[in-house]
Structure 1
Amino acid sequence: MKHTKWAFLALIVAFLTASLGFSHPAYATNSEVETFFYKEQTLITPVEAEWSYEGHKGPDYWESLSSEYKACGQGSQQSPINIDTKENASIKEAELDLVFDYNETIYSVEDNDEIFQANSFDLNNNTLMINEDEYRLHQVALHTPSEHTIDEEEFPLEIQLVHENEEEEQLIISVLVEEGKENKILKDVWMALPAKDGVANRAVDFDATELIPELDSLYTYEGSLTTPPCTENVTWIVSNETVSLSEEQIKAVNKVSTENNRPVQELGSRDIFKITP
């Protein structure tokens, strides 16, 4: 059964690569790519996730749905949070050396009912260095409306760029979206969207750099995944600057993914640090 699963996954990768007209056999045979396909399903949304954003399987009940979801109700460092930037807010200053090395990369597009996301085929092609610690970009996920809020303001959409280092420590960059001009990258992603839940039958390539706004100021804190199992010890970096999507694009997201944002969690005794790159 295990060998059958890997063979099936390799077939998917080979098909997607061929459909784009590329002739890179490494995409079909590289074991890391195969491993990523399996790990990707568990990074944000478990393969057999029996949870939802509403009803008796919604966020208020996640803790009780599985023993693996206990952190959703008992954790002390849960995400998302509200970031209070007002003058009397107790935000500390921090220095952080961020070096982005994002490049044009092939992504598969997936709609798994709860999360709409693009999964990278090449983990080595997009890296983020933070104080000499290297993180690799695994996926781009969309939440509507935003999960994080700034001074209690909610945004139409939140783009989350999910990274992981060699120690499997996760770092997520949160980019908030406002209504404005059309975003070409996300337009291309939507064109590859599958007609029903699952992985699209064709991939899309883009440079994730274009999803990152001008980084005038960033906020970082220690939190968790915002979906079950709500794993903690996740580093979040939230941009205070936004990117824009057109009104039509925002409506398109809402058709694909109904409200899929976890409610804001208590900050508790955690610190929020402001970074000026």
Structure 2
Amino acid sequence: MKFHLVHVMVFLLGLSLCTKAYSNDRTWSNAAATGAERWAELDPAFALCRSGKLHSPINIDTAAPTEQSKLNLNYLSSPSTLLHNGHNLNISPYSKGWISVGPDIFDFKSVYFHTPSEVQINSQRFPLAVYLEHRSQAGKPMMVAILFEIGAKNSVLEKFLSSIPAQRGDVLTLGSFDATQLYPALRDYHDFIGSMTTQPCSEGMRLLVMTTPVQLSEAQLSTLQLAFPKSTRPDQPSNNRTLQVGG
């Protein structure tokens, strides 16, 4: 009982901090007036959105096959919160787990959605990308992007799509969630360094983009698109950065 009360108190504190962050958030979007091309003008803290050299998203068309490390998943099954953050859908599990890529370990943080996908592979943009946010023990960010194509109904996504919060800041509690279930069976990936695709466009983020897409139905995609209109930053120059393929 004591553990349960502590758990609830920690969640409420986190929710309070999130609400405060949203109330102070400057207006930005992917629309023309406050869109990606104007972010650097909205706040001096967003200057990197214009001056950075290793930005995301990019079109992956020059990846060099290499002997990359195996991706090991160690996520925990846990109840989660489902948040409407004003720009997309965010899932945050109570018990998170971690993944490893070779000797590197990354703690799992949260999940969010983009329709359509931001990253492209050989100039192909996918109708949906699900991003899994991680952070190394040294504090360095890492994202895993799982791409989706139209096909069969996705039973994992259905758990979230049937409970999308109605308004910005609304939070719902979900049943058990295991991020492993989002991944394709084949876990080859593209590996490169990029940036956040929202302000302040911080660089130095490692991205693993799964090469094999997962399916969702047309109806599921429509549900997401109605709740969250297009939320994609325009393509950024690759600037000859190193792109590798592994798995």
Superposition TM-score, scaled by structure 2 size: 0.90
Question: 1:114 aligns to what?
Answer: 87
Q: The residue matched to 1:56 in structure 2 has which SS?
A: coil
Matched, 1:91 2:56: no
Question: 2:32 aligns to what?
Answer: 55
Question: What CA distance in whole angstroms lies between the structure 1 residues aligned with 2:233 and 2:28?
Answer: 12
Q: The residue matched to 1:209 in structure 2 has which SS?
A: helix
Question: What CA distance in whole angstroms lies between the structure 1 residues aligned with 2:204 and 2:20?
Answer: 19
Please report how far the alpha carbon of residue 90 of structure 1 lies from its aligned counterpart in structure 2 after TM superposition: 5.5
Please report how far the alpha carbon of residue 55 of structure 1 lies from its aligned counterpart in structure 2 after TM superposition: 1.8
Residues 46, 228 of structure 1: 8 Å contact kept = no
Please report how far the alpha carbon of residue 91 of structure 1 lies from its aligned counterpart in structure 2 after TM superposition: 2.0
Q: 1:156 aligns with which of 111, 114, 127?
A: 127
Matched, 1:27 2:7: yes
Question: What CA distance in whole angstroms lies between the structure 2 residues aligned with 1:161 and 1:132?
Answer: 19
Question: 1:78 aligns to what?
Answer: 55
Question: 1:165 aligns to what?
Answer: 136
Residues 148, 215 of structure 2: 8 Å contact kept = yes
Number of paired residues? 246
Question: 1:14 aligns to what?
Answer: none
**Pairing of 1:1-277 with structure 2 (within 5 A):** 24-30=4-10, 34=13, 38=17, 48-84=25-61, 89=62, 91-122=64-95, 125-275=96-246, 277=247
User: Residues 258 and 58 of structure 1: is their aligned pair in 2 closer, same or farther, counting only changes over 3 Å?
Assistant: same
Question: What CA distance in whole angstroms lies between the structure 2 residues aligned with 1:238 and 1:138?
Answer: 17
Please report how far the alpha carbon of residue 30 of structure 1 lies from its aligned counterpart in structure 2 after TM superposition: 4.5
Question: What CA distance in whole angstroms lies between the structure 1 residues aligned with 2:67 and 2:201?
Answer: 26
For 2:64, give the aligned amino acid: I
Q: Percent of counterpart pairs with the same letter? A: 25
Please report how far the alpha carbon of residue 104 of structure 1 lies from its aligned counterpart in structure 2 after TM superposition: 1.3
What's the CA shift string for 1:177-210, capped at 9, x where partnerless?
Answer: 0011111221111222222222324334311111
User: Residues 40 and 75 of structure 1: is their aligned pair in 2 closer, same or farther, counting only changes over 3 Å?
Assistant: farther
User: Residues 261 and 165 of structure 1: is their aligned pair in 2 closer, same or farther, counting only changes over 3 Å?
Assistant: same
Provide the aligned C-alpha RMSD in A. Answer: 2.5
Q: The residue matched to 2:184 in structure 1 has which SS?
A: coil
User: Residues 26 and 133 of structure 1: is their aligned pair in 2 closer, same or farther, counting only changes over 3 Å?
Assistant: farther
Q: Mind listing any 5+ residue stretches in structure 1 that lack a counterpart?
A: 1-22
Question: What CA distance in whole angstroms lies between the structure 1 residues aligned with 2:240 and 2:65?
Answer: 13
Residues 64, 70 of structure 1: 8 Å contact kept = yes
Residues 79, 174 of structure 2: 8 Å contact kept = yes
For 2:158, give the aligned amino acid: K
For 1:232, give the aligned amino acid: E
Please report how far the alpha carbon of residue 129 of structure 1 lies from its aligned counterpart in structure 2 after TM superposition: 1.4
For 1:205, give the aligned amino acid: S
Q: Mind listing any 5+ residue stretches in structure 2 that lack a counterpart?
A: none
Question: What CA distance in whole angstroms lies between the structure 2 residues aligned with 1:153 and 1:163?
Answer: 25
Residues 111, 132 of structure 2: 8 Å contact kept = yes
Please report how far the alpha carbon of residue 252 of structure 1 lies from its aligned counterpart in structure 2 after TM superposition: 0.3
Residues 54, 193 of structure 2: 8 Å contact kept = yes
